């Protein structure tokens, strides 16, 4: 399967095989790219140049001469094709949480006058819920948690927007972005999508599906490095009405006029806030070079093949009944990770990592294995399932409701 | 003067003298450290290690094994002594603008019920005003701009807080932090200070003067690199009441419990939001090593000697009447920069930079020269004044009210 994989050569664009297990001599199998993507080979030299030449020698001149000032929108335009967005719709900077605040408050301000509530994906990654509640408190609305599959039924004319995860961080389930967006629009509500677990893993089609606002992280499938800045997407036809709750000087129409009164810039630049974090932004820009010549549709094809194969290997190698897949079998409902429920999951993951298979554990009983088609091989998938089988075969089975630490 | 300077040897901790003027063979005089500090020698090797080993090899394990997770508060504790704060009062992350939003909203929430207004320094750096207005809009208060010197007279029992710049970014004037803070407290209002132009340049004494909240930037006198993350200070006795408007998962009491309901962490960790930007945070941490063995009081002594000497040289070398100092002569009112008003300031600065003297221009007619005592020499100060004299002597005088571009 690896020999027939048209994306196999992309693996060389990453720093892999640096850590080998002393017992087997085999390199680690890294299936945690849905938490922190692997280092792309392009990054270290680029950052050395940013430090030594751009900062060390050119210093302040680099804001113009090295293109630092325009990096948030330039890097946004590089992410755009991966999520189905045209140019001028994506801006990069600040954390995912901060961007969710911008998107939710900005969305509420664009919603109808009579709106009283925000719907939030009931199984959301927690920060989305916390931030949505803060945004609701500060705009006088209420938050109502709703299962993504129920949004079409629950949305009313009082709903300002729904904040929904494209892929559930715990189960790996893919939510129906076109359908939910359409249902929200039919009720007059806006659709705000969290793409943390889909950007770089599968086609999103933001423009095609008329998504209103979206936010995503860049350190998972986009390999931008630990805590690299997040992105904000604002639909082109809404940009003129987008009012950020964080109108820093970088989003001003004339930032260097130092005008005491605020006038927003045109377009998605309104999503900028303060001085951009240049080291992290330029590391991300270099990391995005691994996408040169890669079509996100091919990434999706390989992702599904990898997760299918892993599920098949788990069925073959893991003792029956010891681990249950919670990631949907249906391709239309699957992201790019496989989550397995198993008793003692925390201890099981510790042991997997000791044996060179790096996934992660999510409270209370979920083993997560992320598949990054740019660098994960079919051999990786098989070895992970094999080692999981060894670990679960060797470990005594503990009670069904054990919560790991 | 340089031979007698006890801080002279610190210059070797920075990358200087990399760019030389082909005409004179002299290195650039860099007087723009109040906009972007010079690269400390410690940073590139540290970042190479972060990239190659911590990210490239350890990957996800570095969140615990390399101390990534605790970096925001650890780096905060390293900044703390420079601003007169005890441990556990400073946290680093996000931009200055985002932190001003946290501080102003957090302050309003701690203020008395009957408060109706926020005072904002009338000569503030614009972003403070924009963000304060957004915070006021979202908390139902009004913003009233007041000259810092008038705050003691203007504060009323309806004032929730005042947001004031410690040093004016344009004129370099130092505001009376102890006096203004005391006046605010006497009226029952909170004091929120913007330390962007004082942190690392002079003693601040946050704890000693009972400042409530403070925000500062780390890429000026703290040399953290372009867009390095800002810091937030919350007075110890207020931390329990501090409610951030950006309650991301990183400020949760148990971030990995993935609890759908929010419970804030204890202490200044409440100021954290999303995943910290590790590259920039660790570059800043390495940059702070230049402060080893340095007392901020000695930095202040040299800063005043440098700015005194520069003003004396300007008086001696610059044709009479061609440039007027707007930075106060009184040491108690002076920050660590000298601002000169002059006609055609934009063109004058362009010519200075061509001749190897790097300051900056601020709209409409201000030349700014920043003095960073850790690496600026008295010889730098003299040469800058000499070249300014040459430029102003050679350039035809333009009308008095010309605004540069």
pLDDT in tens, A219-259: 999 999 999 999 999 999 999 999 999 999 999 999 988 88
Shared domain for B243 and B388, answered yes or no, is no
> Span A262-286, mean pLDDT?
97
Query: Which of A141, A279, A285 should we substitute to test contact with B (largest number of B Cβ atoms within 10 Å)?
Result: A279
Cβ distance B141 to B130 under 8 Å?
no
What is the share, in percent, of chain B residues with pLDDT greater than 70?
A: 97
- When divided into structural domains, chain B yields a total of 2
Is B67 domain-assigned? yes
> Span B64-80, mean pLDDT?
98
With 0-12 CB in 10 A as exposed, 13-18 as middle and 19+ as buried, what is A33?
A: buried
Look at residues B325, B401, B395 and name the one whose alpha carbon lies nearest to residue B364.
B401
Residue B402 per-residue DSSP state: -
Is B3 domain-assigned? no
Residues of A in contact with B127 (CB under 8 A): 248-249, 274
Cβ atoms within 10 A of the Cβ of A28, count? Answer: 20
Interface predicted TM-score (ipTM) of this complex, two decimals? 0.95
Chain B nearest-CA distance from A206, in A, is 24
Is the Cβ pair B98, A226 closer than 8 Å?
no
Is the Cβ pair B95, A277 closer than 8 Å?
yes
Shared domain for B287 and B374, answered yes or no, is no
pLDDT band at B26 (very low <50, low <70, confident <90, very high): confident
| Two structure tokens written together for A144 | 């109502």
CATH number at residue B307: 3.90.1150.10
Q: What is the pLDDT of residue B401?
A: 40
For residue B232, what are the domain limits? 45-291
Cβ atoms within 10 A of the Cβ of A57, count? Answer: 14
Chain A: residue whose CA lies nearest to B49:
A44
Shared domain for A287 and A306, answered yes or no, is no
d(CA A82, CA A291): 9
Q: Is the pLDDT of residue B383 over 50?
A: yes
Run of H or E including B369: strand B366-370
Query: Which of A96, A224, A226, A249 should we substitute to test contact with B (largest number of B Cβ atoms within 10 Å)?
Result: A226
d(CA B144, CA B118): 6
Q: Is A123 annotated as a binding residue?
A: no
Strands (E), B72-208: 90-92, 117-121, 142-146, 159-165, 190-194
Is the Cβ pair B51, A57 closer than 8 Å?
no
| Two structure tokens written together for B38 | 């010079």
Chain A nearest-CA distance from B183, in A, is 25
The single residue of A125, A231, A233, A361 carrying the catalytic annotation is A125
Is the Cβ pair A35, B247 closer than 8 Å?
no
Order across the sheet with B324-325: list the strands: B324-325, B337-341, B366-370, B360-362
| Two structure tokens written together for A213 | 């606002």
The residue count for chain B: 405
Q: What are phi and psi of B167, to 5 degrees?
A: -125, 130
Shared domain for B128 and B17, answered yes or no, is no
Is A201 domain-assigned? yes
Q: Which of A13-22, B193-202, B242-251 has the lowest mean pLDDT?
A: A13-22
Chain A: residue whose CA lies nearest to B248:
A127
Which of A139, A225, A358 is facing B60, going by the closest CB pair?
A: A358
d(CA A91, CA B179): 42
Shared domain for B195 and B318, answered yes or no, is no
Look at residues B237, B266, B291 and tell me which one is the last residue of a structural domain: B291
User: How high is the mean pLDDT of chain B?
Assistant: 95
Residues of B in contact with A145 (CB under 8 A): 260
Which of B55, B229, B273 is facing A226, going by the closest CB pair?
A: B55
Shared domain for B151 and B215, answered yes or no, is yes
Is the Cβ pair A274, B170 closer than 8 Å?
no
Shared domain for B345 and B386, answered yes or no, is yes
Q: Is B275 annotated as a binding residue?
A: yes
Chain B: residue whose CA lies nearest to A40:
B56
What is the share, in percent, of chain A residues with pLDDT greater than 90?
A: 91
**Count of CB pairs separated by less than 8 Å, A with B:** 250
What is the share, in percent, of chain B residues with pLDDT greater than 90?
A: 91
Look at residues B268, B291, B314 and tell me which one is the last residue of a structural domain: B291
> Span A160-178, mean pLDDT?
97
Is the Cβ pair A98, B274 closer than 8 Å?
yes
Cα atoms found within 13 Å of the Cα of residue B8, Cβ hemisphere only: 10
Is A170 domain-assigned? yes
Shared domain for A55 and A189, answered yes or no, is yes
Is the Cβ pair A63, B257 closer than 8 Å?
no
* Catalytic-residue membership of A125: yes
Residue A268 per-residue DSSP state: G
Shared domain for A88 and A233, answered yes or no, is yes
Shared domain for A202 and A171, answered yes or no, is yes
Q: Which neighbouring-strand residues pair with A366?
A: A341, A362
Give the gyration radius of chain A's Cα atoms.
Answer: 22
Look at residues B291, B320, B336 and tell me which one is the last residue of a structural domain: B291
Q: Is A194 annotated as a binding residue?
A: yes
Q: Is the pLDDT of residue B29 over 90?
A: yes
Residues of A in contact with B65 (CB under 8 A): none
Residues of B in contact with A219 (CB under 8 A): 275
Cβ atoms within 10 A of the Cβ of A115, count? Answer: 21
User: How high is the mean pLDDT of chain A?
Assistant: 95
Shared domain for B277 and B321, answered yes or no, is no
The single residue of A170, A220, A322, A383 carrying the catalytic annotation is A220
d(CA A361, CA A341): 10
Q: What is the pLDDT of residue A375?
A: 97
Helices (H), B143-256: 151-154, 177-186
Is the Cβ pair B283, A279 closer than 8 Å?
yes
Which of B126, B245, B246 is facing A258, going by the closest CB pair?
A: B126
Is the Cβ pair B51, A62 closer than 8 Å?
no
Is B240 domain-assigned? yes
Shared domain for B369 and B237, answered yes or no, is no
Is the Cβ pair A363, B95 closer than 8 Å?
no
Q: Is A308 annotated as a binding residue?
A: no
CATH number at residue B267: 3.40.640.10
Is A97 domain-assigned? yes
Q: What is the pLDDT of residue B257?
A: 87
Q: What is the pLDDT of residue B19?
A: 72
- Torsion, Cα A212 A115 A128 B135, to 10 degrees, reads 100
Chain A nearest-CA distance from B166, in A, is 18
> Span B146-171, mean pLDDT?
97
Q: What is the pLDDT of residue A400?
A: 43
pLDDT band at A17 (very low <50, low <70, confident <90, very high): confident
d(CA B283, CA B287): 6
Is A282 domain-assigned? yes
The 10s digit of each residue's pLDDT in A52-99 is 999 999 999 999 999 999 999 999 999 999 999 999 999 999 999 999
* Catalytic-residue membership of A221: no
The 10s digit of each residue's pLDDT in A300-359 is 999 999 999 999 999 999 999 999 999 999 999 999 999 999 999 999 999 999 999 999
With 0-12 CB in 10 A as exposed, 13-18 as middle and 19+ as buried, what is B137?
A: middle
> Span B339-353, mean pLDDT?
95
Q: A21 or B184: whose pLDDT is higher?
A: B184
The 10s digit of each residue's pLDDT in A109-142 is 999 889 999 999 998 888 999 999 999 999 999 9
Is A401 domain-assigned? no
Q: What is the pLDDT of residue B397?
A: 61
Q: A124 or B240: whose pLDDT is higher?
A: B240
């Amino acid at each position: 399967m690896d020999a027939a994989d048209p994306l196999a050569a992309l693996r060389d664009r990453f720093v892999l095989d640096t850590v080998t297990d002393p017992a087997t001599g085999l390199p680690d199998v890294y299936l945690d790219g849905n938490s922190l993507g692997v280092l792309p080979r392009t990054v270290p030299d680029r950052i050395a140049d940013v430090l030594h030449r751009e900062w060390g020698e050119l210093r302040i001149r680099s804001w113009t001469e090295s293109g630092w000032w325009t990096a948030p929108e330039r890097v946004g335009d590089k992410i755009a094709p991966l999520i189905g967005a045209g140019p001028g719709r994506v801006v990069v900077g600040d954390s995912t949480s901060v961007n969710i605040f911008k998107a939710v408050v900005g969305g509420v301000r664009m919603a109808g006058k009579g709106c009283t509530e925000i719907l939030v994906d009931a199984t959301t990654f927690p920060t989305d819920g916390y931030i949505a509640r803060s945004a609701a408190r500060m705009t006088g609305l209420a938050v109502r948690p709703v299962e993504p599959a129920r949004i079409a039924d629950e949305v009313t004319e009082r709903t300002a927007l729904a904040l929904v995860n494209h892929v559930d961080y715990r189960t790996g389930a893919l939510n129906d972005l076109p359908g939910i967006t359409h249902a929200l629009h039919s009720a007059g509500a806006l659709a705000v999508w969290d793409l943390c677990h889909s950007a770089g893993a599968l086609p999103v089609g933001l423009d095609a599906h008329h998504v209103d606002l979206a936010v995503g992280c860049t350190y998972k499938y986009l390999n931008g490095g630990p805590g690299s800045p997040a992105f904000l997407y604002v639909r082109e036809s809404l940009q003129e009405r987008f009012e950020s709750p964080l109108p820093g000087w970088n989003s001003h129409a004339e930032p260097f006029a130092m005008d005491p009164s605020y006038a927003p810039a045109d377009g998605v630049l309104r999503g900028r806030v303060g001085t951009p974090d240049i080291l992290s932004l330029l590391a991300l820009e270099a990391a995005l070079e691994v996408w040169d010549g890669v079509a996100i549709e091919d990434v999706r094809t390989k992702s599904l093949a990898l997760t299918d194969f892993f599920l098949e290997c788990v069925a073959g190698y893991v003792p029956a009944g010891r681990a249950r897949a919670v990631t949907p079998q249906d391709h239309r409902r699957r992201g790019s990770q496989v989550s397995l429920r198993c008793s003692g999951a925390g201890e099981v993951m510790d042991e997997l990592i000791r044996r060179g298979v790096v996934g992660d554990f999510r409270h209370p009983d979920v083993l997560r294995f992320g598949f990054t088609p740019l660098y994960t091989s079919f051999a990786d998938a098989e070895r992970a399932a094999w080692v999981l089988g060894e670990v679960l075969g060797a470990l005594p089975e503990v009670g069904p409701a054990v919560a790991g630490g």
